[in-house]
A = this chain, B = another copy of it.
Amino acid sequence: MRIMLDFGGMMADAVGHRQGLTVKQINAMSGPFKAVHQDLQQRRRNGDLPFYQLPYDQGALERVSKKARRVINECKDFVVLGIGGSALGAIALFQAFAHPQHNLLPGTKRKGLPRIFFADNIDPEGFSALLNLVDLEKTVFNVISKSGGTAETMSQFLIVRDRLMRKLGKRGHRAHIIATTDPQHGHLRTIAREQGYETLSIPPGVGGRFSVLSSVGLLPAAVAGIDIAELLAGARSADRACKKANLWKNPAAMNAVLQVLVYTTKKKPISVMMAYSDTLGDVADWYRQLWAESLGKRLNVNGRVVHVGPTPVKALGVTDQHSQLQLYIEGPFDKVITFLTVGRFRKTVRIPTGFNHIDGVSYLGGHTLNDLMQAEEQATEFALTQARRIHTAIRLPEINPFTVGQLLFMLEVQTLYAAGLLEINPLDQPGVEAGKGLTYSMLGRKGFEERARMVSSKHQGISSYRIMS
């Protein structure tokens, strides 16, 4: 069962030459594509892009599955402490496959699976509410940080550890923490060794936003009862298509070429991902990080200042037809929209007939919500085409671990192709380091004392531009 890239809505024959692309323009990219393709294959062979190998790591699959069984057997609640790439992939998987009301189901209807929570922010109100909700004695916390230097996650860890120790003692608290971190280095590895926590490893060289198919995403997924072997099988299937040297057979490369072409030649700074499915909605959040952090860069690989990067936007069909579609259809020609569509949902809901005397209501009866969803999605694609707004679609025949594995892997590879075409490094994020240093400074971390003064003096400088409501 394979997913499909359907990009007719990007083409000049659908939306005109001013907005759309021609086969000739796409083919003119085959030179750059080939260079990027060869470079990626070479780096892959050299082991410089280890995320490519994650779907083939049977050892990790087995280790994760074993730990997940233990967690499912022993605990009632499972809490992920992680932020950014340490949470977004697992959230997307949980959303895609868990029962839509998983945490609210009675235990019997949850098939023995624990409730699952993602603590990916440090809002004191939210975090304390969560800690007060769970039964610590029946909870496992999965602390995820590659370096162990993530201020947010390590703060959560310190708070959780303290509460566990008070309740269960130094010895007793251990079984409630699983650390997912670098196999050798970093503060969290050091701590896990000292404290005797169970651990899982993130392969070196796999960055947060490319880690969903490592133990980072797989443990929470397995604890949620998701068939992670199928997920990896789907990713391997996508790998076969996404390493093809023919642009017209390689969906990841083609989508990268399309996105880069419209970004650079058609002035589309905004890239919307609009899933027509509640359960695929959070894939857009995961992709938002992947696309923004990988492609938003000041310098290109030659050190030239480029300030490049499309801005990813999440939208949800049909809901955002009642929020964003007006802008997409009538506003500036500054967007490209990627639909995620589903051929067959896992449920069918019939709309009963009734109110035959009211035409504006009775036409709905006898259809299904599935029909309505599909009709609205097709109507939206058509309306966008009519308004000469470019769009593409990734079509899943159904939502299952195999198709979603394909989708995630394809989007990761697409990101690498896009970075190659834009001549930037997709694997770093130098722009956020300054802010981290400032935060350290304000909290008094050794070696960062100087910077706090800058912040406070700056804040005085702008104090006059204020209006009270």
B14 touches A461 (CB 8 A): yes
A279 touches B372 (CB 8 A): no
**A410 to B469 Cα, complex, angstroms:** 8
A123 touches B443 (CB 8 A): no
What B residues does A293 contact at CB under 8 A?
Answer: 323-324, 326-327
Known: A128-B349, A155-B369, A159-B349. A191 touches B465 (CB 8 A): no
Min CB–CB distance A148 → chain B (angstroms): 7
A311 touches B334 (CB 8 A): yes
7 interchain pairs, CB-CB under 8 A: A84-B319, A99-B129, A100-B130, A122-B369, A123-B279, A293-B327, A363-B445
Closest partner residue, chain B, to A83 (CB atom): B322
From A99, A318, A333, A360, name the one whose CB has the most chain B CB atoms within 10 angstroms.
Answer: A360
A463 touches B8 (CB 8 A): yes
Known: A128-B349, A323-B88. A8 touches B439 (CB 8 A): no
A469 touches B124 (CB 8 A): no
Within 8 A of B (CB), among A227-269: 237-238, 241-242, 248-251, 254, 269
| Interchain residue pairs A-B with the least CB separation, the first 10 | A8-B462, A84-B322, A296-B327, A309-B331, A379-B438, A363-B445, A296-B331, A330-B431, A289-B323, A329-B431
Closest partner residue, chain B, to A468 (CB atom): B2
What B residues does A328 contact at CB under 8 A?
Answer: 296, 431
Min CB–CB distance A438 → chain B (angstroms): 4
Closest partner residue, chain B, to A394 (CB atom): B469
Known: A85-B322, A104-B104, A443-B367. A330 touches B469 (CB 8 A): no
What B residues does A130 contact at CB under 8 A?
Answer: 100-101
A307 touches B331 (CB 8 A): yes
Give per-residue flags for A272-310: 1 if the beta carbon is below 8 A from chain B beta carbons, else 0: 000001110000010011001101111000000001110
Give per-residue flags for A443-468: 1 if the beta carbon is below 8 A from chain B beta carbons, else 0: 11111000000110011011111111
Return the contact of A332 from the options B85, B158, B307, B361 (Cβ within 8 A).
B307
Within 8 A of B (CB), among A342-389: 345-355, 358-361, 363-365, 367-373, 375-376, 378-380, 382-383, 385-387
Let me know if A31 is at the binding interface, CB within 8 A: no
Number of interface residues of A (CB under 8 A): 163
Closest partner residue, chain B, to A6 (CB atom): B466
Closest partner residue, chain B, to A157 (CB atom): B361
Let me know if A430 is at the binding interface, CB within 8 A: yes
Closest partner residue, chain B, to A448 (CB atom): B363
B382 touches A466 (CB 8 A): no
A333 touches B307 (CB 8 A): yes
Closest partner residue, chain B, to A371 (CB atom): B443
Give per-residue flags for A132-156: 1 if the beta carbon is below 8 A from chain B beta carbons, else 0: 0100000000000000110110110
What B residues does A254 contact at CB under 8 A?
Answer: 467
A443 touches B364 (CB 8 A): yes
Within 8 A of B (CB), among A74-126: 83-85, 88, 99-101, 103-105, 115, 120-126
A382 touches B123 (CB 8 A): no
A469 touches B241 (CB 8 A): yes
A2 touches B83 (CB 8 A): no
A334 touches B269 (CB 8 A): yes
Give per-residue flags for A1-37: 1 if the beta carbon is below 8 A from chain B beta carbons, else 0: 0111111111101100000000000000000000000
B122 touches A318 (CB 8 A): yes
